[in-house]
Amino acid sequence: MKNNKKNNTFFILLFSFIFLFLLGGVIILLSDNQDEIDDINISIKTIDILISSDATNWSNEIGKSDLVKANTADNKNQLPDFLGYTSTIGYIDIATNFMQMFNVDINTKCLQGNECDRKEYFITSSSTEEKKCYTGNINSLIDNCNKDEQRYVAFDIYLKTDKEANLYLSNISKLYSEDNTSLVNGLRVAFLVEGNISLDEYNSSDGILLAQNLKKAESVTIWEPNYDIHSKDAILKYEEVFNTSSNLKEENNERLKYYGIKSAINEGILYKEVNSDTNNNYFMEVEPNIITVYDNSELKKMNITLNEGVTKIRIYVWLEAMDIDSLVDEKIDELSINLGLINK
C-alpha cells in the first residue's frame, strides 16, 4: 500500500498501534484465562494539525506514555491487558456520554453424540463501565479501576486547528496481523466526537479545563475493516453456528451484515436467532459509517468536521462478538492497527 505524498493542503493524523497479545485457553469460543498482552506500542503522529493527550501539551506526536500520563479531570483511558468479546450498536449512553459497550460471553450446548457432533451457541451480555485507572504511572493504578475486567481499548485525544477541517480515513488505515488470523477481521474502530470549543474559549483562563471536560457526545463513526475476506475456519464456523450452508469465499465477498447488542442479556439467546423479531429488544443490525476491503486504496469520508478550535474525540477498538470472524478458535500474537486521518 503506497503512502500519500505530503501536501500542505492536507494534514495526516497517523495512529500506529501494535498490540502483541495471546488469546488462549478457549472454552469453545471465549477464554476463561485471557493471556496478557506482551507489549503495546502506540504512536500517534500529525501533520499540519496539533494533537494532545491532555489538552495541555501540544505536538505532532503522542504515544502510549502520553495517554497514561494524561491525568486530566476526566481521563478514563483504557489500555487493557487483553481483548475480549464485546459488542455495540454505536448508541451513546446519555448518563455517561460514552458509547454503550457490552461484555459478551458465548457458550455452547452439545446436541448430538458423546463427541458433541453438533452444538448450539448461546449469547449472554452485561453492561460495561469505563473507569479512571491512571494517575501518571502505568505501574500505579487507582483502586477499584478493575483494569483486569476491561476488554476493549478506549482513550481520548484532542485535536487543535485554526480552520475548519473535514476528516477522511486515509488508505494507510489498516488492521492486520502477521499471523493472518480471522480475529483481525472481527475488530472494529469507533470515533466518538465529544465536543469542541473555539480557540478564544481555549485561550481563556479556564480553557484547558473546558476542553478536558467536553462530554457532549455529538456523534459516533464506526469503521469495519476487511469486510471482504474470511478464513476457511470462519466460513466453517458460520455454517456451524447458523446450521446452514453458505456462499462465503475467502476473498471478494459482499459485506456480511451482523446484529450488535444493545441491551444486557441475562438468559442465553441462540446466536442463530439474533435477527428474530422476538429478540429485537436485545439486537439491532449495525450499518457502519465506513467499510473497507482488505487492500483498501480509497479515502473514506468520516462524517466528522473539526470546527476551528479544540475538538475532543474518544477512540474505541474492540473485538466485535457478533462478527462471525471473531468466533474462530485462534490466537493473535501480533496485531497492528494503523489509522490515518486526512483533512480534505
Q: 166-210: per-residue pLDDT in tens?
A: 888 888 888 877 777 788 899 999 999 999 999 999 999 999 999
Is 330 or 112 the better-scoring residue by pLDDT?
A: 330
What is the per-residue pLDDT for 27? 29
Give the position of cell 476457511.
232
The per-residue pLDDT for range 241-262, each reduced to its tens digit, is 998 899 999 999 999 999 999 9
Query: In whole angstroms, what is the distance from residue 60 CA to residue 201 CA?
Result: 22
Percentage above 90 pLDDT, the chain: 49
Least confident of 59-73, 225-239, 300-314: 59-73
Structure confidence at residue 17 (pLDDT)? 47
Domain ranges of the chain: 12-343
Residues whose CB is less than 8 angstroms from the CB of residue 341 and which lie 6 or more positions away in sequence, other chains included: 11, 12, 13, 167, 168, 169, 170, 302
8-34 burial: b if 16+ Cβ within 10 Å, else e: eebbbbbbbbebbbebeeeeebbbeeb
Evaluate if residue 1 carries a pLDDT over 70.
no
The predicted model gives 105-121 an average pLDDT of: 79
Amino acid type, 44: I
Residues sharing a CB contact under 8 Å with residue 322, sequence separation 6 or more, in sequence order:
87, 104, 258, 259, 260, 261, 274, 283, 286
How does the average pLDDT of the chain come out, rounded?
82
Whole-angstrom Cα distance, residue 152 to residue 131? 12
Q: Can you give the pLDDT at residue 332?
A: 72
**Of the candidates 159, 161, 129, which has an alpha carbon nearest to the alpha carbon of residue 145?**
129
For the segment 261-304, what is each residue's pLDDT rounded down to a tens digit? 999 999 999 999 998 888 999 999 999 999 999 989 998 999 89
Residue 2's pLDDT band, with cuts at 50, 70 and 90, is very low
Using one digit for the tens of pLDDT, what is the confidence trace for 54-95? 999 998 888 778 888 887 767 888 888 778 899 999 999 999
Is the confidence at residue 223, as pLDDT, over 70? Answer: yes
Q: What is the DSSP letter of 326?
A: G
Q: For the purposes of burial, counting CB atoms within 10 Å of the CB of 170, is it exposed (0-12), middle (13-18) or buried (19 or more)?
A: buried
Question: At 85, phi and psi to the nearest 5?
Answer: -65, 125
Amino acid identity of 104?
A: V
pLDDT of residue 14: 53
